[in-house]
Amino acid sequence: MRIHTRAIAIAACFTALTTCFDAIGQEIPQPRTVRATNGVLVDTLNLVMTTLDIQGRKVEARTYNGRTPGDLWRVKPGETMKIHLNNQLPPNPDQDLPDQGNYPQRVNTTNLHVHGLNVTPKDNGDNVLLSILPGEKFDFEFVLPDDHAAGTDWYHPHHHTSTWSQVVNGLAGSIIVDDPTDPSITDPALLAIEDRVFLFSSFNVDTTTNTIPYPQRLTSKTALQPLVGIDSPVFVNGVLGGTVTMRPGEIQRWRMINATYEFTMRLHWKKIVGTDTVDVEHLNIARDGLYFAQASPASWVPFTAGSRADMLVSAPTDDATYIVIMKTLDRNMKEIESRVMATIVRAGEPVVPAMTMPEKLPLAIKRGTIRKEEITGTREVVFRIGDFGGIPTDSTAISRIFTIDNSPFNHDVVNMTVKAGDVEEWTIRNESAGWHPFHIHINEFQVVAINGQYMEQPVWHDVLLLQPQTTYTIRHRFDDFDGKTVLHCHFLPHEDWGMMNIIEILPRTSSVDEEPWKNPMAFPNPVAGRLQHLSLRLPEFLNDQPVTVTLHDVRGEELQTITTTASATPTVRFNVDDYTAGSYFVRINDGRRYKVSEMVVLVR
């Protein structure tokens, strides 16, 4: 079933009326840069309705400070960002109407997510569970640790059920965490290279009302297409394309951010020779702002929704025509557009002596690769898309179809619990026929294996595009920050339809809940389908240590107990076919240092 139809019917320039850029022939503009003063960056985001000029069509849209994209925030590890968010959008017309669950609604309510930053998710930090209503103001404070990773990050609204509708207004901005200037950490050749930021965004326009559309109320007919607008082409820094000027002998660092709501971008560097085109290689140095172990030559680079890619681009060495072709892929990875995004122009005084590529890249994470002996726990995370067949008779089924571990998003339910200081290995299985960019807030992760085949060199990510019917093994450290945050699919329709879970990171001093059933969490929206067996993978590091696995009901009554070892029974299975729908609890205890308690929701 087709979930959302895309039509490219708008070729335009998306900026405020007073600053409309020509899409062809002019330099691609760079965003306004805000830096810290005395270690503190201060900026204001006025969320306002703005008239955008779309090739003669005046469209009302939501913007930060009347322009798109937003400011570039440039900080150093250890600095603080103080951001004043002023929501000046009009009241939600559906504010007092019944809640529609996991479905776009109340889209003038907002908050702020700093994607890629390792900061607290609590209080006025990176707290995406906040709701900032129209007319309200809020002061965010993001304190970067002294050892924060350098890299390319970004910010955008993240209020559940309004994320999709707000991002298609171009509500996004870039963040750069600067490299340390210590030459023993960062190659001086890398520090000498100038940045170019390219933020990719798209828009959804109702050409009847000349607005970014407000979602339709949920019915069986609107469930899969709540927005009535059509998608624009993908824009870069608010324009369709232009030139990038480079001096002879210059190297630039292109920091590319995919701020679209669900598209995957592929950029190809080409040289036109007569009637032919020739691939041109540059150096690929980072994914999601996190350095690779080594730079690698590449003539093209893909990056999906939410992800980032960094390339070191060398100036042309001759007078041939050099171009960058941008290909846009939909959520099924089908190409829907291909065009020239940029022409690289060689001009200006030569750089003498010519710039050189760095001999090595900095460490992505100061503590380095996650070693197997660090792992304190394991778990499986499963992405699924359920059956759409119930929607014609029950429109609310859309709220329960997109799930992680059989659970659609519920603001009042914590789906996973870890402890600050834990190091976990997760097996992520995409059991659906669709693609899903997996993203977890606060903590980056390393991909170590795909379909059980371990990689020679693990790669750091904070967004990982999950292929259909594919299994990934990842590792991540849950460092000092505690609080509730989320993991989700970064195709934003999927997220707003419920493909998001809450994970709570407990403080280091907290203990595992010995009797979690005394504080049960209600789960009012069961998912269609029946789970017959509950499988739990035991951590490999437990080896021959005896472990007891117990299944409890919501009253704490012990239903089943299995005592085994991880080496003898890597996967423990409980038969739950006869149990009714509801909340159950699993406890794993080796009698020494490893104790885990987790809620399981059985759905019928």
3-class state of residue 18 by DSSP: helix
Supply the DSSP string of 416-449, one letter for each residue.
EEEETT-EEEEEEEE-SSS-EEEEESS--EEEEE
Distance CA(518)–CA(511), nearest Å, equals 15
pTM of the model: 0.83
The rounded average pLDDT for each run of 10 residues, N- to C-terminus, in the chain (604 residues) is 36 36 71 97 97 79 94 98 98 96 97 97 95 95 96 98 95 98 96 98 91 94 94 92 97 98 98 92 97 97 98 95 97 96 96 96 95 93 95 95 94 90 96 97 97 95 98 94 96 97 85 55 42 75 82 88 90 87 83 70 69
52 in Cβ contact with 232 (< 8 Å): no
96 in Cβ contact with 90 (< 8 Å): no
Tell me the residue length of the chain: 604
Distance CA(28)–CA(286), nearest Å, equals 22
Distance CA(220)–CA(241), nearest Å, equals 39
76 in Cβ contact with 178 (< 8 Å): yes
> From residue 34, how far is each of 31, 65, 74, 142 by CA, in Å?
10, 14, 6, 15
Domains along the chain? 17-182+216-227 (2.60.40.420), 515-604 (2.60.40.3080)
Closest CA to 446 of 457, 436, 435: 457
Distance CA(432)–CA(210), nearest Å, equals 36
Considering just the CA atoms, what is the radius of gyration of the chain in Å?
25
Distance CA(40)–CA(317), nearest Å, equals 41
Alpha helix stretches (DSSP H) within 470-604? 492-496
Chain centroid to Cα 408, Å, comes to 18
Distance CA(216)–CA(104), nearest Å, equals 8
Closest CA to 281 of 255, 312, 244: 312
Q: Give the 3-state DSSP-derived string for 171-201, with helices as H, strands as E and coil as C.
A: CCEEEEECCCCCCCCCCHHHHCCEEEEEEEE
Chain centroid to Cα 548, Å, comes to 37
355 in Cβ contact with 249 (< 8 Å): yes
Chain centroid to Cα 310, Å, comes to 16
3-class state of residue 389 by DSSP: helix
Provide the pLDDT for residue 515. Answer: 63
Distance CA(447)–CA(445), nearest Å, equals 7
380 in Cβ contact with 279 (< 8 Å): no
**Residue 436: half-sphere exposure toward Cβ, Cα within 13 Å:** 31
H/E element, 590: none
